[in-house]
Amino acid sequence: MLGKAVEDAMNEQIKNEFFSAYQYLSMAAYCESENLPGFAQWMRTQSQEETEHAMKFYDFILDRNGRVVLHGIEEPVVEFGSPLEVFERALEHEKKVTAMINELYALAVRENDYASQTFLQWFVTEQVEEEKNAGDVVDTLKMIGDKSEALFLLDRELGQRRTEEQPTA
């Protein structure tokens, strides 16, 4: 059975993951408005992944005989100054999520909740990948600067990203 402190914290994390999905969808919308469909596809895929993360917490709580309590999410940022700003904010956001996951893991340790520690290990590992992926795009955008040809090529490359569930026909 899931302890109350961990259950409450995981319910909060569900909210945080859904907010992440909403924020990435907002970033996708901005990229679409800037005629960067590849950037938008990357962000849409990220949004879908964040929704999947929320549902992993949802299902875990239920599997441990806990109660899922959904909380309201705040409005995402909708205006960005450039593709670089979009990805810098994405990287900053992923660092915040990493801190949240680390706090959850520390709580599970304090509560001697070994099942939750095992479950959260996947998220600890996932956050390393999330920060690296966003950071790599930030570095590339800084390198290419305002070269429109390079931005066009990066947009095409980012458009190739798909979630594992999507066929790559």
Residues in the chain: 169
- Select 4-158's CATH number: 1.10.10.10, 1.20.1260.10, 3.40.50.10860, 3.10.200.10: 1.20.1260.10
> pLDDT class for 163, splitting at 50, 70, 90?
low
117-157 pLDDT, tens digit each: 999 999 999 999 999 999 999 999 999 987 888 989 999 99
State whether the Cα torsion 163-74-122-98 is positive or negative: positive
Per-residue pLDDT tens over the stretch 58-78: 999 999 999 999 999 999 999
For position 151, what pLDDT does the model report? 87
Q: What is the mean pLDDT of residues 13-38?
A: 97
**What is the overall mean pLDDT for the chain?**
94
Is the separation of the CB atoms in 62 and 1 below 8 Å? no
For the chain, what percent of residues have pLDDT higher than 70? 95
Cα three-residue angle 132-103-123, rounded to 5 degrees: 45
| Backbone torsions φ then ψ of 62, nearest 5 degrees | -65, -40
What's the whole-number mean pLDDT along residues 106-121?
98
Closest CA to 123 of 53, 62, 22: 53
CA-to-CA dists, residue 124 to 40, 87, 101, angstroms: 26, 21, 7
Residue 164 has pLDDT above 60, yes or no: no
**Is the confidence at residue 167, as pLDDT, over 70?**
no
